[in-house]
Structure 1
């Protein structure tokens, strides 16, 4: 595909407007020096600034005509005509072979597994289990004893290392498996909320190889998942308008799993789209 300058600048401008709308509230809070226990995560744990989300790329193999200003941009190569450029997946693989291998492995292997839907978001509870101090300065809605009792009444089934690594020492042996960074590609599964949120991270790491609309779709999925993650958490977030999903009850569990399955479906489509836009349709079929 070749986009004329008028075509690609129109897409860039639409992308910038959509990105600005997605980050407007965050940027306003930053300007006022305010923190938010739910939404700051999208810009601190995923340490990408709104300006990075705002930068539009066409995706691997899409040539931009009359785009000389991008000639020195990372992972762009010369196109078929003077002043044309194209995001180059091979250039990315040459410069970042370990990262390219990791991202492909994570996307393919996660896509190949069935989703698991029995964790009920208890990873957040395990992060405060029997803890005198908490990572977030927010009260527990059931108190410490009530929170501990919920953990003790359930089987911890976390499969995501980047959640597991924040478990309290008392919670670690309660998990079904002891997770490690090296084994992450072997156990990551598409039902996990954090695996869905991480699609935003992988899209960012691929940079110009990912079309702008796909990047923003991944960010929107991460945003929507983050809300459920905190609704199901043990914290009292009512001052921020967050209504809890009480996973300690049968009704709360049912709501969590229903929404978790919907996010897994959205994540599956984005996961395939990332592979396809980066590596081509053969990768989509292989995954």
Structure 2
């Protein structure tokens, strides 16, 4: 058991908070001003972890904190002999989650990345909808309704991710060549899928406080960048929206063209490569926790 004195673990906690505050603070400012961002709010609204939870640092199993009353009352922790740490009893209660998570992660990692979806899931979510029915009704469709529908109808739709497929419009659902469901993710998930990459963030925070917050922050940063590509390839016209922290404005990935398809597939491959070590670290955490080492 590694023991961190208060000064050391507080420094790590402050460093973690500063890292994620680059994302959290602008979101909270927008929320206070009641200004919505169709790209950057997603990780705070779609996923269940709140900004305050993302900012809170956890060392993970195997590390004890000295003089840490802030952690003593948190779920999964207990104080013994003046040291606060995640308990073996909490890990044991999470065994079903750990086993299911490891099974999904291993199945995903074992498959080659499929790069031929071209982000058409977002297009299928607005297929044959009126302007005021789309998920981002404040923003027009870049090709208009008819042009958007034509893109959907002229392409092979091959969405492997249930949480994207479930938002397809009713007319779009039969167009998908796959039929992923909530209970068979391990049969469909593959590492080239943008949503599978973003969900590494969800997977990591669901394992808190058993895993390190450093891993959660890495997964969050990956999900943030993936979300930008996801929306750049979406059918919406986000002209004037700033897509990254440097202030660079939105430019579309025109997946309806050959050049846009190449751009999307190359970025998709890069994200798959970037997500692979995060997925492997999660697998190793699950192995460690299930072994009870």
Are the equivalent residues in 2 in contact too, given 1:92–1:100 (CA < 8 A)? no
Q: Distance in 2 between matches of 1:104 and 1:57?
A: 21
Are the equivalent residues in 1 in contact too, given 2:58–2:212 (CA < 8 A)? yes
Are the equivalent residues in 2 in contact too, given 1:140–1:147 (CA < 8 A)? yes
Residues 217-245 of structure 1: per-residue CA shift (max 9 Å, x gap)? 11111100000000000000113131100
Are the equivalent residues in 1 in contact too, given 2:102–2:286 (CA < 8 A)? no
Cα distance, 1:278–1:78 mapped onto 2, change above 3 Å: farther
CA RMSD for the aligned pairs? 1.8
Partner of 1:101: 99
Q: Report the alpha carbon displacement of residue 207 of structure 1 after superposing the two structures with TM.
A: 1.1
Q: Distance in 2 between matches of 1:64 and 1:252?
A: 50
User: What TM-score results when the alignment is normalised by the length of structure 2?
Assistant: 0.90
Deviates more, 1:44-53 or 1:154-163: 44-53
Query: Match of 1:86, SS?
Result: strand
Are the equivalent residues in 2 in contact too, given 1:103–1:202 (CA < 8 A)? yes
Partner of 2:267: 259
Q: Report the alpha carbon displacement of residue 78 of structure 1 after superposing the two structures with TM.
A: 4.7
1:179-258, aligned counterparts within 5 Å?
Answer: 179-240=180-241, 241-258=249-266
Q: Distance in 2 between matches of 1:186 and 1:168?
A: 23
Partner of 2:65: 64
Residues 27-73 of structure 1: per-residue CA shift (max 9 Å, x gap)? 11111111111111111111322101000000121222333442332
Q: Work out which of the residue numbers 265, 277, 282 in structure 2 matches 1:274.
A: 282
Residues 177-218 of structure 1: per-residue CA shift (max 9 Å, x gap)? 112111112111111000000011111111112212211111
Q: Distance in 1 between matches of 2:286 and 2:171?
A: 42
Query: Match of 1:239, SS?
Result: coil
1:36-185, aligned counterparts within 5 Å?
Answer: 36-78=37-79, 82-88=81-87, 90-132=88-130, 133-137=133-137, 138-185=139-186
Are the equivalent residues in 2 in contact too, given 1:57–1:208 (CA < 8 A)? yes
5+ residue gaps, structure 2: 242-248
Are the equivalent residues in 1 in contact too, given 2:123–2:234 (CA < 8 A)? yes
Give the 4+ runs in structure 1 shifted more than 6 A.
none
Are the equivalent residues in 2 in contact too, given 1:60–1:277 (CA < 8 A)? no
User: What TM-score results when the alignment is normalised by the length of structure 1?
Assistant: 0.92
**Number of corresponding residues:** 280
Q: Distance in 2 between matches of 1:73 and 1:31?
A: 27
Are the equivalent residues in 2 in contact too, given 1:46–1:201 (CA < 8 A)? yes
Query: Match of 2:209, SS?
Result: helix
Deviates more, 1:68-77 or 1:267-276: 68-77
Partner of 1:16: 17
Q: Distance in 2 between matches of 1:134 and 1:67?
A: 47
Residues 55-101 of structure 1: per-residue CA shift (max 9 Å, x gap)? 0000121222333442332222456xx1112224x434432343233
Q: Distance in 1 between matches of 2:222 and 2:136?
A: 23
Are the equivalent residues in 1 in contact too, given 2:117–2:157 (CA < 8 A)? yes
